[in-house]
Structure 1
Amino acid sequence: MVFPALASAPRVPDGAYAFARLWLSLLIATILGAGMWAVIVVLPSVQAEFGVDRAAASLPYTLMMFGVAAGTIVLGRVMDRIGIAWLAAGSAIGLGGGFVLAGLAPSLTVFSAVHGLLIGVWAGTGFGPMMADISHWFVKRRGFAVVVVASGNYIAGTIWPLVIKWGIPAFGWRTTYIGIGVFMALTVLPLSLLLRGRPSTQMMAAAEAATEAARADVGISPRLLITLLVAAGFSCCVAMSMPQVHIVAYCGDLGYGVARGAEMLSLMLALGIVSRIGSGVVADRIGGSATLLIGSLMQGVALVLYSLFNGLTSLYIVSGIFGLFQGGIVPMYAVLCRELLPPREAGAKIGLVVSSTILGMAFGGYVSGLIFDLTSSYRVAFLNGILWNLLNLAAVSWLIFRRRQGGRPELLSPAV
């Protein structure tokens, strides 16, 4: 058996069962992550086959991202009720079926609708809900566990495009899509059944007591706290989107060529994996809020450097700095949710905050392009990213200040 600890080890936090479950969750998240990357690779082929312009061919990606945001919220609530095993099984069928239907789509309209309603929604399982589930099984190493599962998305972004780029010339994009769908159903469906274990009543009671004590230290209501985290997550990802979405175009405008920009993007994503794992280790030592503050601060520094230097070597260096810190930011919101909010609502709360980061990326990418169209320069767009990053820094700094002050009990209100 591939994961024997899932059957034999005691189901206690930070134990052998927890770690076996962690690596299995990472595997499932990586497979499901194809839903967020495949359409980017097949975009030129889809555009050519349906005979549309680039804007129309980009619609499936936009709808997919909105589907991921919606799915992360809705499926997070579902996970709280039925557990991750049945949700992952549903994703195997829904996402796998979505890829098959997209591969058979007779028009761009059908292709786009499938990405928004099936592929995007069910791909959301591999991010927020998977992070929420694994957070229940760790206490001392929770930060590390959450970022490992979150890394599945970046690993998927490294592996799946290579698989699809190989499959398109060999079989065509339609057959490649259908093959991905069948592969997902045949692998994730049986793997998901190994995640049927649920945290015990004693584990959940201990987690509830810990979050109540931590929330009392902050001294604000759960409603205000989740609002703060949503605002911070949206702001940081508006800032984050500027280099990630536009670095390729930026390098083209500077005369370095889009290939250089693609290399910088790959550097960001590769170092983003290092960043995610490292941030989890750091969070287990100094806490999620302090780790989030460091990541956000350094992201702001990188954005300032982008606005000051545009030499080729400088851009590679700054992109490396950016990648080393931005990758760990989003998972820290999940860690904070588990530190401060009721564990029985982990899927719903983490899903809500993670969806705000996805929408922040979508909004930021669009606004940066709009600013470029109005000014014919990315300099103001970088400034816009810096301002949004300052909003995030202010929110996180205030949260840390509240915790260090020990909170004011009179500001506490009943949990929502």
Structure 2
Amino acid sequence: MNASDILDSRRSWLRLAIALTASVVGSAGLWSIVVVMPAIEAEFGLTRAGTSAPFMLTMLGFAVGNLVIGRAVDRYGLSKALIVAAIVVAIAFSGAALAPSFLWLCVVQVIIGFAAAAGFAPVISDISHWFYKRRGIAVALAASGNYLAGAIWPIVLSGMMANDGWRAVYLTLAGLTVVIVIPLALLLREKLPEGAGAHAEAQATARTHGTGLSPRMLQALLALAGLSCCVAMSMPQVHIVSFCVDLGYGPAVGAEMLSLMLAGGVVSRLISGALADKLGGARTVLIGSALQCLALFLYLPFDGMVSLYIVSTIFGLSQGGIVPGYAIIIREYMPAREAGARVGFVMMMTVLGMALGGWMSGWIYDITGSYSAAFLNGIAWNGLNILIVLFVLMRSRARPTGAVPA
């Protein structure tokens, strides 16, 4: 098999399946904190903004982890990164389960978020090298690990939390991470042959020159776009459980809505990945961002249980493809050898947007006594994202290169 023949091959798809499974398990810590937020609020006597702090800190750790581990993958490979991360997150879960204070829990959540990042940007970056014609759908699948985790774990963990408490949930996750992620990581030791992506690299260089933007400027624009879209995205994702508790529906209903939202996000990512293979990353992100903004508007007039189930599903189906779209843009416009660091940086900014938005929504709730203003805040940030992506797209169209996405 020639070096180029390995791209889009059975080996590529098998690698994707293994990495995706590891990501689903390794990302559990991102969503466990959302499920246990009401229990933590009651145990430690917190305000809603205070309850949002552990999630915000988890996202901060996750953000830095995407950058640091992304760079490590460029140098050491995905397998080693996943193994080290699995050990760290298991120790952190155990430490959280023994937390004697809220401050202790907050500190440990930073570590959980940092290690969980190994299943996001590093996996996306690694898988992007193994595909060319089907890179869009492959990246979308790789990016779906944390959403699949969000669709699966809230339902699984909510029952365990009701029976055994949130500390038992964390101890269980510690064991599962070690038992499942490490063996899967050992199957990912193969390296991509040199020269396999030479044609893709040449097209990326042509597209970069075509925009008239330096790679650093394009990365900065994508980072700001990622931050703004995820501030908007975080409002429903972080606060849907608490929102449902306020409305009298209970945390279990909120957890189901979160699962529906994230399951819809998985479907959205797959559809967006297929679109990206036809339209390119920038157009795909623009479509997703516009649909997300529309879905956020729908939360304002509807607060009945049935309508919230429907709106949450619509929201998930709208926004899932936005974040992986940034990774596709990076691989379309920037050098492959820098993919881990550049994808990691932009993914870090999207996670910072989730952290900022999650905290900001709780803060706005404490000031106003409702989530209406928080939804409007998200809509405003979403508008900024749309403007940035439009700018990048217009620059690309204004300076055609003749190169189109494969």
TM-score interval for Structure 1 and Structure 2 normalised by the shorter chain? 0.7 to 0.9
Q: Is the aligned partner of 1:396 residue 2:389?
A: yes
**Aligned equivalent of 1:24:** 18
Letter paired with 1:91: A
TM-score normalised by the chain length of structure 2? 0.88
| 8 Å Cα contact 1:219/1:406 also seen in 2 | yes
Give SS of 2:60's match: helix
Q: Distance in 2 between matches of 1:299 and 1:43?
A: 25
Q: Is the aligned partner of 1:66 residue 2:66?
A: no
- Following TM superposition, by how much is the alpha carbon of 1:262 offset from its aligned partner in structure 2, in angstroms? 4.8
Q: Is the aligned partner of 1:101 residue 2:74?
A: no
Note the alpha carbon deviations across 1:276-308, whole angstroms, 9 max, x for none: 111111111111111111111111222233345
- Following TM superposition, by how much is the alpha carbon of 1:242 offset from its aligned partner in structure 2, in angstroms? 2.6
Q: Distance in 1 between matches of 2:285 and 2:262?
A: 18
**Aligned equivalent of 2:378:** 385
Equivalenced residues, count = 398
Which among 296, 303, 325 is matched to residue 296 of structure 2? 303
Letter paired with 2:234: S
Identity %: 49
**Aligned equivalent of 2:358:** 365
Q: Is the aligned partner of 1:354 residue 2:350?
A: no
Which among 56, 69, 73 is matched to residue 75 of structure 1? 69
| 8 Å Cα contact 1:71/1:120 also seen in 2 | yes
Note the alpha carbon deviations across 1:142-170, whole angstroms, 9 max, x for none: 11111111111122123233443454566
Q: Distance in 1 between matches of 2:182 and 2:358?
A: 35
Q: Distance in 2 between matches of 1:370 and 1:255?
A: 21
Letter paired with 2:93: F
Q: Distance in 2 between matches of 1:219 and 1:178?
A: 52
Letter paired with 2:104: V
- Following TM superposition, by how much is the alpha carbon of 1:263 offset from its aligned partner in structure 2, in angstroms? 4.5
Which among 236, 256, 266 is matched to residue 243 of structure 1? 236
Letter paired with 1:304: F
Note the alpha carbon deviations across 1:368-396, whole angstroms, 9 max, x for none: 33334444454443332222212111111
Q: If you compute each CA radius of gyration, which structure gives the higher value, 1 or 2? A: 1
Q: Distance in 1 between matches of 2:291 and 2:342?
A: 26
Give SS of 1:198's match: coil
Q: Distance in 2 between matches of 1:163 and 1:240?
A: 23
Q: Is the aligned partner of 1:148 residue 2:172?
A: no
Distance 1:308 1:79, change over 3 A: same
Letter paired with 1:147: A
**Aligned equivalent of 2:186:** 193
Correspondence 1:89-168 to 2 at 5 A: 89-116=83-110, 118-168=111-161
Q: Which moved more, 1:119-128 or 1:203-212?
A: 203-212
Note the alpha carbon deviations across 1:66-105, whole angstroms, 9 max, x for none: 1111111111111111111110111121112222333344
Distance 1:41 1:253, change over 3 A: closer
Letter paired with 1:111: L
Q: Distance in 2 between matches of 1:186 and 1:152?
A: 18
**Aligned equivalent of 1:411:** none
- Following TM superposition, by how much is the alpha carbon of 1:330 offset from its aligned partner in structure 2, in angstroms? 1.0
Letter paired with 2:259: S
- Following TM superposition, by how much is the alpha carbon of 1:244 offset from its aligned partner in structure 2, in angstroms? 2.7
Letter paired with 1:329: I
- Following TM superposition, by how much is the alpha carbon of 1:131 offset from its aligned partner in structure 2, in angstroms? 0.6
- Following TM superposition, by how much is the alpha carbon of 1:266 offset from its aligned partner in structure 2, in angstroms? 3.3
Q: Distance in 2 between matches of 1:256 and 1:102?
A: 28
Which among 33, 38, 49 is matched to residue 39 of structure 1? 33
Distance 1:11 1:60, change over 3 A: farther
Q: Is the aligned partner of 1:331 residue 2:339?
A: no
| 8 Å Cα contact 1:10/1:16 also seen in 2 | no
Distance 1:201 1:271, change over 3 A: same
**Aligned equivalent of 2:333:** 340
Letter paired with 1:281: A
Question: Could you list the runs of 5+ residues in structure 2 that have no partner in the other structure?
Answer: 402-406
Note the alpha carbon deviations across 1:8-60, whole angstroms, 9 max, x for none: x99710001000001001100011011212233345555666x5535666543
Q: Which moved more, 1:99-108 or 1:351-360?
A: 99-108
Q: Distance in 2 between matches of 1:138 and 1:343?
A: 12
| 8 Å Cα contact 1:204/1:344 also seen in 2 | no
- Following TM superposition, by how much is the alpha carbon of 1:218 offset from its aligned partner in structure 2, in angstroms? 1.7
Q: Distance in 1 between matches of 2:121 and 2:383?
A: 25
**Aligned equivalent of 2:78:** 84
Q: Is the aligned partner of 1:217 residue 2:210?
A: yes
TM-score normalised by the chain length of structure 1? 0.86
Note the alpha carbon deviations across 1:99-130, whole angstroms, 9 max, x for none: 233334444433332221x3111101011111
**Aligned equivalent of 2:404:** none
Distance 1:44 1:206, change over 3 A: same
Give SS of 1:53's match: coil
Q: Distance in 1 between matches of 2:109 and 2:252?
A: 28
Q: Is the aligned partner of 1:294 residue 2:294?
A: no
Question: Could you list the runs of 5+ residues in structure 1 that have no partner in the other structure?
Answer: 1-8, 409-416
Q: Which moved more, 1:305-314 or 1:279-288?
A: 305-314
Distance 1:103 1:143, change over 3 A: same
Q: Distance in 2 between matches of 1:396 and 1:137?
A: 26
Letter paired with 1:370: W
- Following TM superposition, by how much is the alpha carbon of 1:254 offset from its aligned partner in structure 2, in angstroms? 6.0
| 8 Å Cα contact 1:95/1:119 also seen in 2 | yes
Q: Distance in 1 between matches of 2:375 and 2:348?
A: 23
Which among 272, 283, 291 is matched to residue 265 of structure 2? 272
| 8 Å Cα contact 2:150/2:258 also seen in 1 | no
